[in-house]
Structure 1
Amino acid sequence: MPVKETGLGNHAMLTKIDKLRELNVGSLIPLPQLVVVGDQSSGKSSVLESLTGFSFPRAPGLCTRYATQITCCRDPVTSVAISIIPRPDANEELKMKLLGFHRHIDGELDNDELANIFHEANLTMGIRMKTNDISQIGAFSQDILKIEVNGPEQNHLTVIDVPGIFRVPTPGLTTETDITLVENMVKSYMSNRRTIILAVMPCNVDIATQEILKLAEAADAEGTRTMGVLTKPDLATEIATRDAIIDLVVGKKGHLKLGYYVVKNRSADDSSSTLAERAAAEKAFFMDLPWTAIGDRCGISALKRRLRDILMKISKQEFPFVKAEIEQRLRKCEANLESMGPTRADQGSQRQYLGRLATSFQTTTQAALNANYAGERLFRSDPDLKLITRMIKLQNVFANVFREHAHMQQFDASSDANSSSDDNNEVSENRTPPVSNDVDKSESKKTVVAFKALLAKYCELHDIIVDKAYRCPKPDNKPIMDRITEVFDSSRGPDLGTFSGTVLSTIFEEQSEKWEPLTLFHVSNAIALVHDFIFRLLCHLCPEKQVRDQLWDSLLVDPLRVLYRKAMDHARFLLSIERGGRPSTFNHYFNDILQKKRGERLARSLENKSIDLADHYRERSGRYVSLEILRSSAMNKDNEKQVCEDILDIFESYYKVAQKRFVDIVYQQVISHFLLDGDESPVKAFGPDMVMRLNDEQLELIAGEDEEFKKRRMTLQQERVSLSAALKVVRA
């Protein structure tokens, strides 16, 4: 009696899974399946014959060189259909050749006819079946032979047979490489997390030493999806051997959660008995001791029922996940193809591809320069692309360090350059508040560390920017008045109450000595940030390494180096003008600061001579000095001291104006114009205009598809076709 079908819905689901396997989806996503594995002499073919009712042709070299998918289906008419499922990486020509192979047999199966069909299939797959047959490719194939067995007594069951593992090559036919190839093929099927492994082993060997069981354990360490199938029990003649088999089947030994089953093969001399006759002989054999103790796990019928239940269970359990994985894999495949863009076989398509890439580059760059981060996912995935934010932070660190440490010597304690009281109220309200020493040190340290990392990453910048990070030291604690006096003494002339113009120039050049290394380090850091931004953005927008490398090395690096050098040259130009020229300013804050400093100096000199009004008038408060004291306040100073104090006040007032002016100019001209916003800024180097200027040779070099890329595109296209068809199957 045939086993009763479990329902049309179950049959449809199993049919869908078979269809997915035909579409080669199994090479992309694990599918629920039964795989029979074993050594060449394990009795595997006999087990398959009994399970499927399909008698493999008894001819040398057949049914052992590739994976075989055998699907049994109930049908009123007995028939066998044999076809080939091409390997996943088959090119279109080979694929069409393999798909064109289809043979159909109605009625009873004839061994000779089957042998001829299998021989033709082997030739179609290019399998070498005779020693020294150089007309064929190899002894094994990655293609799958599909056998559909239909009949009134069949029930839906699909099993996959893989080549038997062998250890000794046949000279002229198989090689040591073939041994490894077969073992890897078997491992690949066994490693599928949705595969039920049927490990076939003869009873008359030591099970513990069976290599196939070790391979199964490596693929299924917990033993949850491996079933042992023990064959040739009639050859286990010793009592100890039989007892060991009984212990395995009842679960006293072994770790396989699905346990063991025992089946009896037909004898080597039996070439004429029918499946029914062999089933009756097997049933009679297992009615004898000691097999009656494990009768529910003996015989092909018990094994077949158990396999159908397991296959149905895993199929129901995993089918929703298979569907979800197909959808996810298809989305990823389409995204990869979209990122590759259309095929680039000619100059027109190559220019169009680069043009779109350049447009995307400029669109994202403008968003990065305008801090318009909300509409671009790239800024979330890679915050280092927030160019203007990074640049403003860098400029703030530069401005703070410049204000706190850029002067060589401290100004007089009474007029410290770091004190906001030195400026008039309007200046104080508009200046950036001084940062704390801790914050200043922390930000400066981060800047230095980041610069070193970028310098190590981009060796093409080494001969353009400074090659070492600069840590600006604190000003010398020695007041600058001593140096002013020295310079005045060394350059004074016959002038009365005045001083030579070279005094201010000399003092300013000395006091601003750290401006140059600090500025050049800052501009170098800004260049490194811009360079890093360009490279990062190119990597994000152009995932194809060949195109990206050619763009970077052949098209962008040299022009970028020219633009960076212009920025550095302009920074040096500004330094030479500011430090090497005659001090001059038309900023009215200079006079405001100067007058305030003179007033403060006078107030400090009279402080000890002032009288508190409260001591004389109760209704008044504050301090005052008499006119007589004011008239005599400057009488005790010699001419040199008076002139040097005037020089200090003038110099300090000018230094403050020049310092702020220079920080702004560096940002406006070098950073903003030369690096960010100017028409010839580096971030605008890669744009549609550049693409339009490329000649055909350059287009082919940069955007032409190499063989590896073409192969990847073809693989993705084939994958998309298979997955799209698979999605229709699972949704049907």
Structure 2
Amino acid sequence: MELPLPRDSGLCTRFATNITFRRSPQTSITVSIIPGPTRSPEKVEELKAFKKTGLTTLDGQTFLSILKDVCQVMGVTGPGESPSATKSTFSADVFKIELSGPDRENLSIIDIPGIFRTATEGVTTQDDIDLVKTMVGDWIQDERTIILAVVSANVDIATQEILTMAEKADPKGLRTLGVLTKPDLVDDGAEHQVIDLVMGKRNKLKLGYCIVRNRSQKELDTDSDSRTRKERSFFGTDPWSSLPKDRVGVDALKSRLQDLLSEIVQREFPKIKRQIERRLILCKKNLYAMGADRESSDQQRHYLEGIAAQFERITNDALSANYCRHDIFGQDHNLRLPTLVVDRSDRFAEDIRSKGHSVAFKGDTSAEAVTTTNKIEEKSALPSANNGSDDADESHVSNESDGDAESGHKLRLDSKSSKYPELLDILQQDLYISLTKGCDILAWIETEYRKARGYGLEVMDPNILPMLWQEQSSNWKGITLSFVNDIIVYVHDFICRLLNHVCPESKVRNGLISFIMDDLLDKYSAAIKHVEFILRVERHGTLLTKNHYFGNTLSKMRNERLVKAMKQHEFLTNRQDAGGACHYVTVVPVSGMTSALPQGNLEHAVDDIHTVLNAYYKVVMKRFIDTVVAQGADYYLLTSDESPLKILTPLFISSMTPEQLDEIAGEDLVTKRERQELKEEILALEQGKKLLRG
């Protein structure tokens, strides 16, 4: 059967046509379109969708109808159509025709547009010229492609750009065969120049030239037998009859191509085997990465359960710090979650110790020595005790006059939070702490004591301690919520990064994240609420402790205060022992011991309040740090069964409805087509591999 490709005296080939012949027991014809490299994803799908199968013959009328449909889909001017501003003249898409049958040779032929140099107004443009040159250049680069450099015999061979391009692509000339056409149009007397080309006397090609006679315009409707007779008759006349028979006519060209094809196949055979092996491995790898088919609910559930199981396994190894179990821990240190949490917990504990108190305790230089870190923007605030309410506690993190955003230190979110806008509604945004340097705590206590005392004896009023305690620990809220914010960001970043690793398909990954997002946010919110509960209990609840360390510390501080005061009155004196030897001893006169004690009731009360507040602060600070880390971070966000890390499990997947499974794991048309194409390519490669072995 002859394929009725378009023939015209003007431009007739608008795109590359890939004609593939396959030997097969069954006779069949399939036509399709391979999208060009610059097509949009939407257009790619439209072009790939064009396919006609089940054809057994292609007569001229049927082929013309198909060709018109192809041109319509590609958006190029079709056969018989006039140039249009809405349609292109050429396309980088490929029209593929597969011809299978028992008498077919395994061969592919690419018919590409001819090169032209001058644009025609209303028909072609400079862009068309560039497109065709690029198209030709791309196709002839393949080392296994035979380049048929088709040139009209009635033009100057030296001006034909295709020969220059062929020489550049095939510098050794091992796969370039010249084909001279239209010898019947050569001017009288110029025949010898064409004959010299065929005989290799000028413009020599390593593989030489063949010469064929085309149908004339009047002969376009004649059959192939008629064409062959006319060709033989033409080359039987002088001077053409002097040419070697193996260089003249379509039959000679066909024979020359078969020989050349055999040579190239033998030369490229080892390379072909290696390339098939590599391509087969890549296709199988890509198909494996897509997972099993996901048509039914059971297949979709099995696929998601596999993802969840891998996620759970890597998460458990991460929480156990078994970083050697998976390469991903070495590739992405952000997945070393426990390490990040431990480092941040250490910083949290240090922040509470050094910046947690509003005013430095007497004899404690830690607050005065504090320097701001990259998490704190330094400002200044003088503390003032509040009335013990939650609203008053907000004065240091809102816009109250005693501790607004302008007089505090803003605590910023971890930089990773900007990647996850879904967290911004639950993370605490405006957190501030006050940081006072060099403030006399005894003067502050006395001021607050004077403002709060009532009738009665000048002794320590138990009602003033909670007020002072809440003010002294007011920085805990900002520091603690900033800590929990960061742990939430670490956990969320871990989940998203790990899902990206175990689920490379973006549609499924995004569907899973979207499906569990509400549960994640609920668990993050629960952690924040629990930490806020701990803050309320420790800062606004009853001041109490059963830790004996409080009593010991209180007694120790009182003794140290007395000893320090008495040392100011001590002096050395001589004493004789029983043997008459003199020794120097330190003594404190009774009057010095008396003056070492606070003289007035107010001074005594202030001093005692400071001692109790300091001792209680030390005890509760340690308890608070451990509680926040153990409960707010470790339990709520990492290790408990209610942790956000424990949401995505195979058991969770098993509870999904068929509708939910299909929405998340169901394959879209693009994925289905990609899977089918991979399967078909794998089958073809395995068949090719089998043939090469045979």
TM-score where L is the length of structure 2: 0.68
The 8 Å contact of residues 497 and 639 in structure 1, kept in 2 or not, is answered as yes
Deviation, structure 1 residue 568: 1.5
1:701–1:621 CA distance, 2 compared to 1 (3 A): farther
Q: Does 1:558 align with 2:518?
A: yes
The aligned runs of 1:503-518 (5 Å cut-off) are 503-518=464-479
Residue number in structure 2 paired with 1:705: 667
Deviations 1:447-471 (A, max 9, x none): x999454333222222211235x57
Please give the residue correspondences for 1:583-662 in structure 2 after superposition, counting only pairs within 5 Å. Answer: 583-611=543-571, 624-626=586-588, 628=590, 631-635=593-597, 637-662=599-624
Is 2:496 aligned against 1:535?
yes
Q: 1:607 to 1:717 in 2, by over 3 A?
A: same
CA separation in 2, counterparts of 1:206 and 1:586?
108
Counterpart in the other structure of 1:459: 421
Correspondences of 1:476-555 after superposition (within 5 Å):
476-493=437-454, 498-553=459-514, 555=515
Residue 570 of structure 1 is matched in structure 2 by 530
Q: Which amino acid aligns with 1:142?
A: K
User: What corresponds to 1:334 in structure 2?
Assistant: 284
Please state whether the residue corresponding to 1:128 is helix, strand or coil.
Answer: helix
Alignment CA distance shift 1:607-1:615 (3 Å):
farther
Partner in structure 1 of residue 109 of structure 2: 160
> Aligned to 2:18, which of 42, 51, 67?
67
Q: For the Cα contact (< 8 Å) 1:347–1:696, is it kept in 2?
A: yes
The residue correspondences of 1:87-486 to structure 2 (distance < 5 A) are: 97=54, 120-121=57-58, 127-128=63-64, 141-145=95-99, 160-165=109-114, 189-192=139-142, 194-195=144-145, 197-202=147-152, 204-205=154-155, 212=162, 220=169, 227=176, 229=178, 231=180, 235=186, 261-266=208-213, 271-272=228-229, 319-412=269-362, 414-417=363-366, 441=373, 451=413, 453-467=415-429, 470=431, 474-486=435-447
Alignment of 1:664-683 (within 5 A): 664-683=626-645
Aligned-residue CA RMSD in angstroms?
5.5
Q: Write out per-residue CA displacement over residues 59-85 of structure 1, whole angstroms, 9 at most, x where no aligned residue.
A: xx99x994346899xxxxxxxx99768
Post-superposition offset of 1:635: 5.0
Question: Which whole-Å deviations, capped at 9, do the CAs of 1:448-498 have from their partners, x for residues lacking one?
Answer: 999454333222222211235x57564433232221111122223466573
Q: 1:163 to 1:220 in 2, by over 3 A?
A: closer
Greater RCO, 1 or 2 (C-alpha within 8 Å, sep 6+):
1
Once the two structures are overlaid, the 10-residue window that deviates more, 702-711 or 598-607, is 598-607
Q: Deviations over 1:33-77 (max 9, x none)?
A: xxxxxx97899xxxxxxxxxxxxxxxxx99x994346899xxxxx
Whole-angstrom distance in 2 between the partners of 1:370 and 1:654 = 36
Structure 1 pair 281–449 and aligned structure 2 pair: CA distance change class (3 A): farther
> Aligned letter for 1:360?
Q
- Tell me how far 1:338 sits from its aligned partner: 2.5
- Asked whether the 8 Å contact 2:367–2:437 carries over to 1, the reply is no
Aligned match of 1:723 in 673, 685, 693? 685
The answer as to whether partners of 2:20 and 2:97 remain within 8 angstroms in 1 is no
More helix by share: 1
Deviates more, 1:318-327 or 1:496-505: 318-327
Q: Give the residue type in structure 1 aligned to 2:308.
A: A
- Code of the aligned partner of 1:465: L
Structure 1 stretch displaced more, 136-145 or 331-340: 136-145
Any gaps of 5 or more consecutive residues in structure 1? 1-38, 44-60, 73-80, 102-119, 151-155, 169-177, 288-296, 420-433
Give a deviation string over 1:110-148, Cα, whole Å, max 9, x none.
xxxxxxxxxx24689x63269989999997841244799
Structure 1 distance, partners of 2:306, 2:583, is 77
Query: d(CA) in 1 for partners of 2:179 and 2:231?
Result: 22
Measure the CA separation in 2 of the matches of 1:599 and 1:637: 17
| Larger mean Cα displacement after TM superposition, 697-706 or 662-671 | 697-706
Three-state SS of the structure 2 residue aligned to 1:594 is: helix
Mapped partners of 1:221, 1:380: distance in 2: 46
Q: How does 1:676-691 map to 2 (within 5 A)?
A: 676-691=638-653
1:475-524 alpha-carbon deviations (Å, 9 max, x no partner):
43323222111112222346657301222211221122221122222212
SS of the residue aligned with 1:679? coil
Question: How many angstroms does 1:665 deviate by?
Answer: 1.0
For 2:470 and 2:49, how far apart are their aligned partners in 1?
Answer: 76
Q: Is the 8 A contact 1:162 1:186 kept in 2?
A: no
User: Distance between the aligned counterparts of 1:71 and 1:690, measured in 2?
Assistant: 50
Secondary structure of 1:467 counterpart = coil
Q: Which residue of 2 is the match for residue 292 of structure 1?
A: none
CA–CA distance in 1 between the matches of 2:439 and 2:612?
19
Q: Output one character per residue of 1:262-315: Cα deviation in whole Å (capped at 9) or x when no partner.
A: 55444768853788995998997689xxxxxxxxx9999999999999978876
Matched-pair contact (CA < 8 Å) for 1:261–1:303: no
**SS of corresponding position for 2:544:** coil
**Paired letter, 2:451:** S
TM-score by length of 1: 0.65
Structure 1 distance, partners of 2:113, 2:140, is 13
- The separation in 1 between residues aligned to 2:566 and 2:159, in whole angstroms, is 107
Say if 1:668 and 1:204 are closer, same or farther in 2 by CA, change over 3 A. Answer: same
CA distance in 1, matches of 2:260, 2:568: 105
1:533 Cα offset (Å): 2.0
Change (3 A) 1:674 1:130: closer
Whether the 8 Å contact between 1:165 and 1:179 is mirrored in structure 2 is no
Distance 1:121 1:180 in 2: 33
* 1:328-362: CA deviation from partner (whole Å, max 9, x where unpaired): 33233223322333222222333333333322222
1:708 deviates by 2.0
Deviates most, 541-550 or 193-202: 193-202
Q: Per-residue displacement from partner, 1:608-660 (whole Å, max 9, x unpaired)? A: 4444699999x999983335365334257433223322222221222122222
Q: Contact 1:195 / 1:225 at 8 angstroms: preserved in 2?
A: no
1:404 & 1:221 partners in 2: Cα distance? 75
Q: Is the 8 A contact 2:28 2:54 kept in 1?
A: no
CA gap of 1:327–1:473, structure 2 versus 1, over 3 A, is: farther
CA distance in 2 between partners of 1:724 and 1:621 (Å): 105
SS state at 1:465 partner: coil
In 2, the alpha carbon distance for the partners of 1:712 and 1:632 equals 94
1:694/1:65 Cα in 2 relative to 1: closer, same or farther (>3 Å)?
closer
> Equivalents in 1 of 2:233, 2:60: separation in Å?
33
Give me the whole-angstrom Cα distance separating, in 2, the residues matched to 1:544 and 1:377. Answer: 20
